């Protein structure tokens, strides 16, 4: 009988220590974070909303859930993940009216926008991931299935769901080599992934990365966001203010190109502002990512005297006369506004990361975006196909935007590639629901 090597003994002891210490240390960290939220809530609006929302969880659950209810639990960290989970929620409700859906958020930016979402039977915050809260939550909800969207790895929830043998899925997931699952010092996080019943990833690279750490309960099913943007396309709204400002495509007298700047930040305006000021023939629609009075004044000064706010057109359509830039000072219409554009620039790429480029590409127009896009498979694939264009500076933006402006055939060709790419990606929702039996 072979004696174990010193390395094997060390590995055995390290694994034993991990199993003994992991849960209490992790839970202590979550508890400390919870206390931190309470401490700063008096001076931080986001923390305040999270703290108040946590206090409302049990009241909301008591008001919505009754014994005998059959719930599917869907968790989305924030608004972006909700948009990925939404096609799944709506198909479950359509196919299985006997089932109810509980939708939870962790971030106030998701919950505050979608707390009244009619597609779910109950919407609330996710209780903090401590053992007592987890057990209380699962005892109350007793879900038949739990579905987490994209980047949600709550240790205690996953372990307790696994222990209770509740089928648990991760959808539209993307894994990268720099994540802690794949680093030697933190590889033990990979054990959490084995508690999922099945993981549905967007690409083969994710499948291969997981296989290398022994996680094989994985299927490549794509990204449910493509199904969502197609729904948005089919349900797009007519926007009278944009009709009067730019006209419809093909209208006589329309500008040579209408450029849409979606989810624009100040860093983006520093990149495209000079180009826009110098191209008198272009009309532009700017949808700032967020706005207040100061932000709107800054945008109005971008091209002095040539900017009109959408709100100014509601009662006075003639306010658009002589203006060539419209600023959308409202929420909820961005995805429909792309229909009025011949090309789009998507903001965020000169900050943390780009925003949703699919919402624009689905209309068959070329999409431009900044360099912070490596985490988005669709950005990489659209760049390869030619329907997406990465810009890295003001000079780079000018060069590429001029190419789209002055070469209509080039613009239409790239737009066609973008639209075809979106259409080829549709169907992820059906694949996932088929595999989980819903």
Q: CA 199 to CA 188: how far, in whole Å?
A: 18
* Angstrom distance (rounded) from CA 11 to CA 424: 46
The rounded mean pLDDT for the chain is 90
pLDDT for 425 beyond 70: yes
Sign of CA dihedral 3, 9, 15, 16: positive
Beta bridge mates, 101: 72
pLDDT digits (tens, 9 = 90+) for 324-343: 999 999 888 899 999 999 99
Closest CA to 405 of 307, 280, 286, 304: 280
pLDDT in tens, 3-30: 455 444 344 444 444 556 678 888 888 8
Q: HSE-up of 267 (CA within 13 Å, CB side)? A: 16
Q: pLDDT tens-digit profile of 370-420?
A: 999 998 999 999 999 999 999 999 999 999 999 999 999 999 999 999 999
pLDDT in tens, 95-151: 999 999 999 999 998 899 899 999 999 999 999 999 999 999 999 999 999 999 988
| Most confident among 61-65, 79-83, 247-251, 415-419 (mean pLDDT) | 415-419
Chain centroid to Cα 290, Å, comes to 16
Distance, CA of 61 to chain centre: 26
Alpha-carbon distances of 403 from 71, 370, 399, rounded to whole Å? 52, 17, 6
Q: According to the model, what pLDDT value does residue 393 have?
A: 97
**pLDDT exceeding 70 applies to what percent of the chain?**
94
Range 238-424 has CATH code 3.60.20.10: no
pLDDT at 16: 45
Q: What is the pLDDT of residues 142-192, one digit of tens each?
A: 999 999 998 888 999 999 999 999 999 999 999 988 887 888 777 778 889
Q: Which stretch of DSSP H or E encloses residue 113?
A: helix 108-114
pLDDT of 199 higher than 90: yes
Q: Is the pLDDT reported for residue 357 higher than 60?
A: yes
CB neighbour list of residue 306: distance below 8 Å, 6 or more residues apart: 322, 323, 324, 325
Residue 271: HSE in the Cβ half-sphere, 13 Å Cα cutoff: 26
Q: What is the pTM of this model?
A: 0.78
- List the one residue out of 202, 195, 184 whose CA is nearest residue 217: 195
Query: Who contacts 359 (Cβ-Cβ below 8 Å, separation ≥6)?
Result: 229, 232, 262, 334, 335, 338
Domain residue limits, the chain: 53-173, 238-424
CA angle, corner 158, sides to 117 and 67, nearest 5? Answer: 55
User: Would you state the structure tokens that stand for residue 349, as one six-digit string?
Assistant: 């790429």
pLDDT at 250: 67
Q: At what angle do helices 266-278 and 394-406 cross, to 10 degrees?
A: 50
Binning pLDDT at 50, 70 and 90, where does residue 252 land?
low
Question: Taking the mean position of all CA atoms in its chain, how far away is CA 141?
Answer: 26
In this predicted model, which residue has the larger pLDDT, 244 or 348?
348
Q: What is the fold of 53-173? A: Rossmann fold (3.40.50)
Residue 397 near residue 391 (C-beta atoms within 8 A): yes
Q: Residue 316: its pLDDT value, please?
A: 84
Point out which residues pair with 44 in neighbouring strands.
none
Please check whether the two domains, 53-173 and 238-424, share a CATH topology. Answer: yes
Residues 342-366 have a mean pLDDT of: 95
For residues 424 and 116, give the distance between their C-alpha atoms in angstroms, rounded to a whole number: 32
pLDDT at site 6: 45
Q: Which residues contact 400 (CB under 8 A, 6 or more apart)?
A: 368, 389, 391
Greater model confidence, 15 or 236: 236
């Amino acid at each position: 009988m072979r004696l174990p090597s010193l390395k094997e003994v060390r590995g055995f002891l390290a694994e034993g220590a991990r199993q003994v210490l992991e849960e209490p240390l992790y839970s202590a960290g979550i508890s400390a974070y919870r206390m931190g939220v309470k401490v700063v809530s008096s001076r931080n609006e986001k923390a305040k909303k999270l703290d108040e929302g946590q206090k409302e969880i049990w009241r909301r659950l008591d008001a919505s859930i009754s014994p005998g209810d059959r719930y599917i639990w869907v968790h989305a960290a924030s608004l972006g993940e909700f948009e990925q989970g939404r096609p799944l929620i709506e198909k479950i409700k359509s196919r299985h009216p006997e089932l109810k859906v509980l939708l939870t958020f962790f971030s106030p930016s998701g919950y505050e926008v979608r707390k009244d979402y009619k597609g779910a039977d109950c919407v609330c915050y996710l209780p903090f991931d401590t053992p007592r809260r987890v057990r209380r939550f699962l005892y109350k909800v007793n879900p038949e299935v739990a579905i987490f969207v994209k980047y949600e790895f709550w240790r205690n929830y996953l372990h307790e769901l696994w222990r209770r043998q509740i089928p648990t899925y991760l959808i539209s997931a993307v894994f990268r080599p720099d994540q802690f699952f794949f680093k030697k010092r933190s590889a033990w996080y990979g054990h959490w992934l084995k508690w999922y019943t099945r993981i549905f990833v967007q690409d083969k690279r994710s499948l291969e990365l997981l296989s290398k750490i022994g996680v094989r309960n994985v299927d490549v099913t794509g990204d449910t966001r493509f199904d969502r943007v197609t729904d948005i396309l089919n349900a797009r709204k007519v926007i009278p203010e944009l009709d009067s400002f730019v006209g419809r495509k093909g209208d006589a007298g329309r500008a040579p190109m209408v450029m849409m700047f979606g989810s624009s930040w100040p860093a983006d305006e520093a990149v495209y502002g000079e180009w826009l000021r110098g191209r008198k023939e272009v009309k532009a629609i700017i949808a700032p990512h967020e706005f207040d009075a100061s932000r709107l004044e800054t945008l109005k000064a971008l091209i002095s005297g040539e900017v009109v706010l959408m709100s100014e057109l509601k009662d006075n359509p003639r306010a658009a006369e002589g203006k060539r830039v419209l600023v959308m000072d409202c929420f909820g219409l961005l995805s429909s506004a792309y229909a009025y554009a011949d090309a789009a620039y998507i903001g965020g790429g000169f900050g943390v990361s780009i925003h949703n480029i699919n919402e624009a590409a689905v209309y068959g127009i070329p999409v431009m975006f900044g360099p912070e896009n490596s985490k988005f498979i669709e950005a990489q694939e659209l760049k390869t196909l030619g329907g997406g264009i990465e810009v890295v500076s003001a000079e780079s933006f000018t060069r590429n935007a001029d190419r789209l402006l002055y070469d209509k055939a080039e613009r239409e060709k790239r737009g066609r590639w973008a639209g075809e790419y979106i259409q080829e990606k549709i169907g992820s929702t059906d694949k996932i629901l088929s595999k989980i039996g819903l």
